Amino acid sequence: MAAKLIDGKAFASRLRARVGEAARRFEAAAGRPAGLAVVLVGADPASEVYVGAKGKATREAGMASFEHRLPAETPEGELLALIERLNADPAVDGILVQLPLPKHMDEAAVIAAIDPGKDVDGFTTESAGRLATGLAGFVPCTPLGCLMLLKDHLGDLSGFDAVVIGRSNIVGKPMAQLLLAESCTVTVAHSRTRDLQSLVRRADIVVAAVGRAEMVKGDWLKPGATVIDVGINRLPPADGEAKARLVGDVDFASASEAAGAITPVPGGVGPMTIAVLLRNALVAAHIHAGLRLEEEL
């Protein structure tokens, strides 16, 4: 029996609609729109697409979008000065610096310069520390989106055995912390994990965020497992096809025969990232304005 598809695109659309409604109420109460600043350094094609999409989504949600595009050769000090101005700007509730940065810039130093109260990406060490110690704070958008999809499908996650494949600061580590907070038993696997297949085989929940195309096969999975595929990989066109194929870290064809539920690529986790970014920015706006959100987003 084929797995149920977890439709991240539909969930993200509903979340963005709720954010839009809450943003309108916020503007009426605060006398200003919530504001999100996005900074792009250089002209990386993928980053330009992401920044454009984020700006468009921000405006569609009724929030103010502040886009700052800097040349690739911009000195690091100039970028840090821009972040300092955005930190002090009362119209800006959230700051996102698009990664990767040019090689002459220290990403850790740039991220550290962002006011933790405006760190809607959840990348600062303060945000990471608050997540690790169970305190409220901003959580990276992709793993929080994954958690929303899991809870929407499974309900209470308490007691589930979960495997997170990947240990990045952006997805793997925060994903593990979020699942621990939901009382899952969590294993974090990575490139040096021995016998990865047997670890995955016992998991009720599998989150694949390793960046290797179609690595996780259907025969790795426990029958009925819920699979969240974070990967986005481009493969050469198949025979007779003109365009490159977009695939995840999970072999969808075989996994969908074994899993109970699975996110597709595209249309699964990807749309959740921008939706959660908007949600985080609106939460920040309410905190800065001293207002309470009427509903949990």
C-alpha–C-alpha distance, residues 208 and 164, integer Å:
6
Q: Among the options 98, 118, 229, 249, which is catalytic?
A: 98
- 290 belongs to a structural domain: no
70/253 Cα distance (integer angstroms): 42
297 found inside a domain: no
What's the gap between Cα 8 and its chain centre?
A: 12
Whether residue 98 lies in the annotated active site: yes
Query: pLDDT tens for residues 77-127?
Result: 999 999 999 999 999 999 999 999 999 999 999 999 999 999 999 999 999
User: What is the value of pTM for the model shown?
Assistant: 0.95
Of 93, 121, 229, 251, catalytic: 121
Q: What's the pLDDT at 297?
A: 85
Using an 8 Å Cβ cutoff, are 249 and 142 in contact? no
Q: Based on the domain organization, do 98 and 184 belong to the same domain? A: no
Q: Note whether 166 and 211 are within 8 A (CB).
A: yes
Same domain, 119 and 157: no
* Residue that terminates a domain, selected from 124, 150, 166: 124
Same domain as 158, residue 51: no
Q: What is the pLDDT of residue 294?
A: 81
Q: Do residues 236 and 245 make contact, with C-beta atoms less than 8 angstroms apart?
A: yes
Domain interval for residue 238 = 141-269
Domain assignment present for residue 162? The answer is yes
Residue 279 lies in a domain: no
CATH number for the domain that contains residue 199: 3.40.50.720
Answer yes or no: 121 catalytic: yes
Given the DSSP bridges, would you call strands 261-262 and 4-5 parallel, antiparallel or unpaired? parallel
Note whether residue 254 is domain-resident: yes
> What's the structural domain count of the chain?
2
**Residue 271, token pair as written in the block:** 């749309």
Q: Are residues 189 and 250 in the same domain?
A: yes
Per-residue pLDDT of the chain (297 residues; tens, 9 = 90+): 689 999 999 999 999 999 999 999 999 999 999 999 999 999 888 889 889 999 999 999 999 999 999 999 999 999 999 999 999 999 999 999 999 999 999 999 999 999 999 999 999 999 999 999 999 999 999 999 999 999 999 999 999 999 999 999 999 999 999 999 999 999 999 989 999 999 999 999 999 999 999 999 999 999 999 999 999 998 888 777 778 888 999 999 999 999 999 999 999 999 999 999 999 999 999 999 999 998 788
For the question of residue 217 being annotated catalytic, the response is no
258 and 145 inside one domain: yes
pLDDT value at residue 245: 86
In this structure, the chain runs to a length of 297
